[in-house]
């Protein structure tokens, strides 16, 4: 599943009363004026090589080489000038791909019940509130979980990875713990295992079984579908109601040592594993 400072106005005046003394006058007879403090504004421009390096595609030294070879474009034109500066609002592309100078961050949340998966500030109780202190960069949830669905939800500002993990051709392993309103018949397990045709299309289930040591209302199911609310629709097709739904594995990530409502940053190896899917 991470700008700027505030400047206060100083009070440069003294207190004036009837018996206050004036400052000594200059030789011209005019009262001396204290030089005003000039606040130096920070430039909103940064060097192009730093911009590229901050995006995470390469080191700053390597960025110089790519700039020299014309691999970096700014606002639709190749730039090969060393020391060239860009604004944060400029469109910068590396090998044809749009990049941003933000460090890529990856946050994993164990979502509790009752929170909506949305980035809209107008909604109450959203998942963004739960990761508000996780990063200074603007994060986006990868996919979504329904309001009453719990479990693993990934957040990132890595647009390429977010698109990859939500694309229907990417095989992202998802395992859910499902609790139904009644015992699931074994014959229905076999039907689900063989695949089910719904209005949303053909749903292929990699694996489904009873939870060991629990009642037959509790099911473990693995699938890679990116369709919204698909597990509810899958069981409703067989006349079952889903009482609880918890995503326990997402792309190899687990809930180990991650309590409900808490988040953690992914390790470097976990990020590598996701990018290799």
The two most distant CA atoms of the chain are separated, in Å, by 105
Which pLDDT score, from 0 to 100, does residue 3 have?
Answer: 40
Residue 123 pLDDT > 80: no
The residue behind tokens 């698109």 is 163
What is the pLDDT averaged over residues 127-142? 94
Distance CA 47, CA 29 (A): 50
* Mean pLDDT, range 194-209, rounded to an integer: 93
- Mapping DSSP to helix (H, G, I), strand (E, B) and coil, where does residue 262 land? coil
- Alpha helices by DSSP H, listed for 70-143, are 127-130
DSSP state, residue 104: P
Reported as a pLDDT band with limits 50, 70 and 90, residue 18 is very low
Those residues whose C-beta lies under 8 Å from the C-beta of residue 187, and which sit 6 or more positions away, are: none
Given a cut of 70, is residue 89 above it in pLDDT?
A: yes
Instruction: State the Cα–Cα distance between residues 144 and 117, nearest whole angstrom.
Output: 6
Instruction: Report the pLDDT value the prediction gives residue 121, as an integer from 0 to 100.
Output: 80
- Residue bearing tokens 């044809």: 96
Q: Could you give the CA distance from residue 104 to residue 56 in angstroms, rounded to a whole number?
A: 7
Q: What is the set of domains in the chain, with CATH numbers? A: 45-99 (3.10.290.10), 106-167+256-275 (3.30.70.580), 174-250 (3.30.2350.10)
pLDDT exceeds 90 at position 27 = no
Structure tokens at 85: 């500066």
CA-closest candidate to residue 140, choices 157, 161, 116: 157
- What local confidence, expressed as pLDDT, does residue 24 receive? 47
Q: Each residue of 248-260: b (16+ CB within 10 Å) or e? A: bbbbebebeebee
Name the pairing type of β-strands 201-203 and 196-198.
antiparallel
Total-model pTM: 0.71
């Amino acid at each position: 599943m991470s700008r700027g400072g505030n400047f206060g106005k100083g009070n440069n005046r003294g207190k004036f009363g009837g018996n206050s003394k004036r400052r000594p006058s200059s030789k011209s007879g005019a009262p001396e004026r204290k030089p005003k403090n000039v606040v130096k504004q920070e430039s909103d421009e940064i060097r192009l090589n730093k911009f590229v390096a901050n995006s995470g595609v390469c080191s700053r030294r390597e960025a110089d080489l790519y700039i020299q070879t014309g691999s970096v474009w700014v606002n639709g034109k190749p730039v090969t000038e060393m020391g060239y500066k860009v604004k944060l609002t400029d469109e910068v592309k590396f090998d044809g791909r749009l990049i941003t100078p933000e460090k890529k961050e990856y946050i994993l949340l164990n979502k509790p019940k009752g929170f909506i998966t949305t980035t809209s500030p107008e909604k109450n109780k959203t998942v963004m509130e739960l990761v508000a202190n996780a990063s200074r960069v603007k994060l986006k949830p990868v996919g979504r979980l329904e309001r009453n669905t719990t479990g693993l939800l990934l957040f990132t500002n890595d647009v390429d990875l977010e698109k990859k993990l939500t694309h229907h051709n990417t095989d992202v392993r998802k395992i859910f713990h499902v609790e139904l309103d009644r015992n699931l018949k074994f014959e229905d397990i076999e039907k689900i295992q063989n695949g089910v045709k719904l209005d949303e299309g053909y749903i292929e289930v990699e694996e489904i079984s009873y939870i060991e040591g629990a009642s037959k209302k509790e099911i473990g199911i693995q699938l890679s579908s990116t369709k919204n609310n698909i597990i509810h629709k899958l069981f409703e097709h067989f006349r079952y109601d889903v009482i609880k739904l918890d995503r326990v594995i997402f792309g190899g990530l687990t809930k180990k040592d991650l309590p409900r409502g808490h988040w953690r940053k992914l390790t470097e190896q976990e990020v590598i594993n996701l990018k290799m899917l």
